[in-house]
Structure 1
Amino acid sequence: MPPNTVSDVLTNSTRSVITEDKFQELIKQGDKLFVYESKVYKVNNFIAKHPGGEAALASALGRDVTDEIRSMHPPKVYEKMINLYYLGDYMPNMPAPKTAFKKTKQQQNIQQQQKEPVLELTWEGGMSVKAYDDAIEELYKHHAKDLVQDLKAQQDLDNVKIREAYRKLEQEIHTRGLFKCNYYKYAKEGCRYASLLFLSLWFTLYGTQTWHYMVGAAFLAGFWHQLVFAAHDAGHNGITGKSEIDHIIGIIIADFIGGLSIGWWKDNHNVHHIVTNHPEHDPDIQHLPFLAITNKFFNNIYSTYYKRVIPFDAASKLFIRYQHYMYYLVLSFGRFNLHRLSFVYLFTAKNVRNRMLELSGITFFFIWFSALLSTLPSWNIRIAYIFVSYMLTFPLHVQITLSHFGMSTEDKGPNEPFPAKMLRTTMDVDCPEWLDWFHGGLQYQAVHHLFPRIPRHNLRDCVPLVRQFCDEVGLHYYMYNFSTGNGVVLGTLKSVADQVTFMKEVAKNNADIWAGEKQHAH
C-alpha cells in the first residue's frame, strides 16, 4: 500500500533514494516522473486522469515543479493526494567541492605566485610567440572555468532566495485572506450580466430598424465578453474551490451560454500557465499562419501541445509580413476560431471530462442563438448580426494576448524559478480602479500567473505585495498602461515582420545574382 501521509513516507526505513542520474534513466525508460519538495513522484497511471488535462501534467514532467504544483492546486492536493504516487527521495548530483572558497585572499595570492607564471607583454627571455599565446590560453581556460563555477554557484543561491521569498509572499497573501472569494462582487457582476443580456434582447426582439438590431448585437458581444471572466474563474476552481462544482459552473457559462468548451479551455490554459510563452510548448502563442511573436517560428517548430509541426509556409510568410497591421482584424475573428478549437477538442481528444454534457451544452447554444436569429427580418441582417456580435468581442482577445505577446520567449532551462519565469513572460496592465470591470480584474496577469488560484477581484490588492517581492529578490515587474502595452505588442509584431521582409529581400537578391551569373555564363 502507498503511504498516506508525508510522515508515513519520512518514517519508512525502506524508502528509496533516487539520484539525478537514476531520475534521468527512469525517464528515458518511459516513466512519467516529476520532483516535488525534493521527492520523486511517478504518475504513469494518473496522467490521463489529471483533472487539469493530460497536456498540463505532461509539460511538468522531468523536472522540479514544486512551485507550479503549489500555485495551481489547493493544499489538499499537494499535502495528501500526491503521496499516492510517491516513488522516492530525490538527490541531485552534487558538484565537487571547491577548496578555493576556503582559502584566504593572502593564501590565494601566494598560490598564484608559486604556481602560475607572471606573463608580461614581452617575448624576451626565449619565449616564442606561440608559447606565449599557449600560456595565455591555458590561464584563460583555468580562470574561465572557475568563473563559470562561481557564477553558477551564485545563480543557485539567487534561485533559492527567489523561491524562499515566493513562499513567504504566498503565506502573506494567505494571511490577508486574499485567496478567499468575494461573492458580493460576483453579485454585482451578475447584475451587469443581466443588464447587458436584457438590453441585447430588448433591441433584438423589439427593434424595428437595422440599427436597433446592430445595437442588440453589440450588447450581446458585451455580455459574452464579460461572462468569459466568470468562466475563467470556474476553470481555475476559483468560485467555490471545489473542482466538480466549478467545472459544472464553467460548462453552464461557457458551453450553454457561450457555445465554447470549458474543457478545451482548461486543457489549453493550464499548459499555458506552466510553460508560458515557450514557442514549442505554449499553445497560446502558436498562431501561425497569422501571427508570430518570435522568429523561432521560422524554423518549423514542433508543437508539443498540438503534436504536430507548425509549418512556416508561404501563407505564414505572407501574413506575418503584415501582422502588425492586421493584429486587431485577426483578433476580431477569434470567437469563430474558438468554436473550431472546441469542436476539435470534444470530438478528437481522449479522456474528455463530461464530454456529452459539453456537447449537449454547445448544441443548446446553437439552438437558442438560431432561434434568436430567426426573429430578425432578413438574412442580410442575420449575417450582419452574427458578425457584429462575434467580432465585437475582440477587446477580450486583445486583453488575453496583451500580457504575453510583447514579452520574453526565451527558454532559460528547467532550473529557472517559477516566479522568475512568470514575471519575465508576463506584463500587467495599469488602469484606474473604476475601469476594473472592463478588464474583469484580469489586467493583473503577472500577479495571476504567480498565484492562479487568487480570485481575480483580489488581484489589485496583491500588486503592492508583488512589487515588494520583486524589489527584494531583484526581479523586474513589468506594468504598462493599456495604450503603452498595445504599443509594446505591436512593436514586437513589427520586429518579427521586418525579419520576414528582410529574408524575402535577401532571397530575391540571391536569385537576381544567380540569374545574372547564369546569363553571363551563356
Structure 2
Amino acid sequence: MHMNGKDSTDAIIAYHPDWVIDKKIPHFCVGELAPNERTVDSKISLAYRQLDERIRKAGLYQTNYNFYIREIIKFAFFWVGAIYLILRFPNFYGVLGSAFLCATLWWQAAFVAHDAGHSGITHDAWTDMNHNVHHIVTNHPEHDPDIQHMPFLAVTAKLMNNLYSSYYKRVMEFDAVAKVMIPIQHYTFYVLLAFGRFNLYANSLAYVFSKDRVPHRTLELCGIAVYWTWYLALLSTLRETPGLIVMHILVSHMLTVILHVQITLSHFGMPTDVVEDETFAEMALRTSMDVDCPRWFDWFHGGLQFQVEHHMYPRVPRHNLRKIRPWIAQFAKDHGLTFHNYDFIHGNGIVLKCLHHVAMEVKESLKAVCEKVAEEDKKKKLM
C-alpha cells in the first residue's frame, strides 16, 4: 500500500527471489503503461538493479547452513549452561552466571529471528509485516512502526502533532506522559532500553490475542507457552530464595539492553524527512547507519552492523553482508550519496545528539505554549 502509485520495481527486487518475479508476479499483471506514460528509470535505480545482478551471480543470496548449525549449537550451550548453573549452584554466583547466559541466549537468538523475518535463511516467505513496513518507509514518522515509541521516545519533534500511525491505526497522542518524558529522553534513553524485553512481552501478547487476523496464531501461542513453561520451571527451583528469582529476572532481562541499543542505533540518529520520488536505494542510504567493527567482532552485532547493506538488499544472508559492503560503499560514492559508517561509540553519540536536539525542541515548544497560556490568563484577569 505504501508503494501505491509509485514505481516499486526496486522494492520488488529487494524482497522477492527470482521464481516469484519470473513466475508469480506476471499473473497479477492488469495492463501496461502506454509509451507516453512510462517514466525513465533513474541512473541510481539502474545501478541498483545491476548491483543486484552482481550479487546474484556471485551466489551471495545463497545461505551457508553450516553458519546456522553453529548458531544452534551456540544457543544450546547457552541454554543448557543456564539451566545447569541454577540446578548445580543455586546461590548468588550460580544464579548470576545463569542470568548472564540467558541474556546472551536471548540477545544472540534475536539475530537469527531477524534473519528469518527476511526469509534470509530458508528463502521461504513467512509473515513479518512490521519489519517489512519498516524497510519500505524507513524513518517515516507516520508510517514506520520501528520509530513510533510515544510517549517515551521521539526521534522527531513532528510527533508533537498527534500524528496518526498508519501501522498501528491509532493516533500517537502527545499526552501528559510524553510532555514529561520526551524533554528528558536523552537522559532516560538507556534506562528505557534496559526494560525493552518486558515491552516485547507486552507487545507479543497484545498481538497474538488481538481481534485482527494473526498469521500462525497457534504456532505463536505454542512458542510462547513453551518459553514460559521452561523458564518458570527453572525459576521455581529457587522458590525458597525469592530474592534470587528477582535477581535472575532483572539481570537476565536488563542485560539484553545491548540488543535494544543495537536495534535503535541503526536509525534513531538518521533523518526522518519525507523525500518525494526518492529511489529505494537512496532511502536506504539516507536513513540507515552502519557500525564499523572488525570481522572477528561480527558475532557481537549479529548482522545489525550492516544495516545499510541489509536495507538495500534484505534477502542477502547475514554471513554475506560483509562481502557486499565494499560494493555498497562504491555505489554510494559513484552516485554522490553518503554512506553512514561509524564506530559503535560514535554511533551512540549521534543517536544521543538527535534525542537531545528533539528534546530541546519539544521543551522550547512546551515553554512557548505555557507562556502563551499564562499571558492569556493575565489578560483575562485584567479584564
Please tell me the TM-score bracket, short chain as reference: over 0.9
Between the aligned partners of 1:511 and 1:469, the Cα distance in structure 2 is 52
The answer for the alignment partner of 2:26 in structure 1 is 83
Quote the offset at 1:518 in angstroms. Answer: 4.5
Matched, 1:453 2:284: no
1:166 aligns with 2:48: yes
Measured after TM superposition, the shift of residue 459 of structure 1 is 0.6
1:385 matches 2:328: no
Q: Does 1:373 align with 2:235?
A: yes
CA distance in 2, matches of 1:91, 1:317: 52
- After superposition, residues 116-127 of structure 1 pair within 5 angstroms as none
Tell me by how many angstroms 1:236 deviates: 1.3
**Separation in 2, partners of 1:212, 1:346:** 35
The match for 1:322 among 184, 187, 209 is 184
Greater relative contact order structure (CA < 8 Å, 6+ sep): 2
TM-superposition CA deviations, 1:471-504 (whole Å, max 9, x none): 1112111111000000000000000100121122
Is the 8 Å Cα contact of residues 196 and 220 (structure 1) preserved in structure 2? Answer: yes
Pick the aligned partner of 1:408 from 265, 271, 283: 271
Contact 2:286–2:338, Cα closer than 8 Å, also in 1: yes
SS at match of 1:280: coil
User: Unaligned 5+ residue runs, structure 1?
Assistant: 1-57, 96-155, 248-262
2:10 to 63, 67, 75: 67
TM-score by length of 1: 0.70
CA contact (8 A) 1:293 1:492 kept: yes
Q: How does 1:176-215 map to 2 (within 5 A)?
A: 176-215=58-97
What SS does the corresponding residue of 2:337 show, helix, strand or coil? coil
Which deviates the most, 201-210 or 396-405?
201-210
User: 2-side partners of 1:514 and 1:348: how far apart?
Assistant: 45
Select the residue among 259, 282, 285 that pairs with 1:420: 282
Alignment partner for residue 240 of structure 1, among 79, 100, 122? 122
Number of the residue aligned with 1:398:
261
Greater displacement, 205-214 / 314-323: 205-214
The 1-side partners of 2:300 and 2:191 are apart by 20
Which one-letter code corresponds to 1:460 in the other structure? R
Per-residue CA distance 1:402-421 (angstroms, 9 max, x = gap): 010011111112x2110001
CA deviation map 1:9-33 (0-9, x unaligned): xxxxxxxxxxxxxxxxxxxxxxxxx
Shift of 1:349: 5.2
- 3-state SS of the aligned residue for 2:43? helix
C-alpha distance in 2, partners of 1:484/1:349?
43
Find out whether 1:361 has 2:223 as its counterpart. Answer: yes
Identical-pair percentage: 46
Q: Aligned partners of 1:466, 1:349: CA distance in 2, in Å?
A: 42
| CA apart distance, 1:189 | 2.3
**Tell me, what secondary structure is at the counterpart of 2:10?**
helix
In 2: Cα distance, 1:517 partner to 1:350 partner: 51
Between Structure 1 and Structure 2, how many residues are aligned? 382
Give structure 2 stretches of 5+ with no counterpart: none
Distance 1:165 1:341, change over 3 A: same
What is the distance in 2 between the residues matched to 1:59 and 1:93?
25
Q: Does 1:310 align with 2:156?
A: no
- Deviation, 1:312, is 0.7
CA contact (8 A) 1:442 1:459 kept: no
Residue aligned with 1:80, SS: helix
Q: Is the 8 A contact 1:165 1:473 kept in 2?
A: no
> Take 1:494 and 1:271, find their aligned partners in 2: how far apart are those partners?
27
2:286 alignment partner AA: R
Query: 3-state SS of the aligned residue for 2:3?
Result: coil
TM-score by length of structure 2 reads 0.95
Check whether the contact 2:266–2:304 (CA below 8 A) recurs between aligned residues. Answer: no
Q: How far apart, CA to CA, are the structure 2 residues paired with 1:197 and 1:367?
A: 14
Structure 1: distance between partners of 2:263 and 2:213? 27
| Matches of 2:192 and 2:237, distance apart in 1 | 30
| Alpha carbons 2:165, 2:172 under 8 Å: kept | yes
CA-based RMSD of the aligned residues comes to 1.9
- Report which of the two structures shows the higher radius of gyration computed on alpha carbons: 1
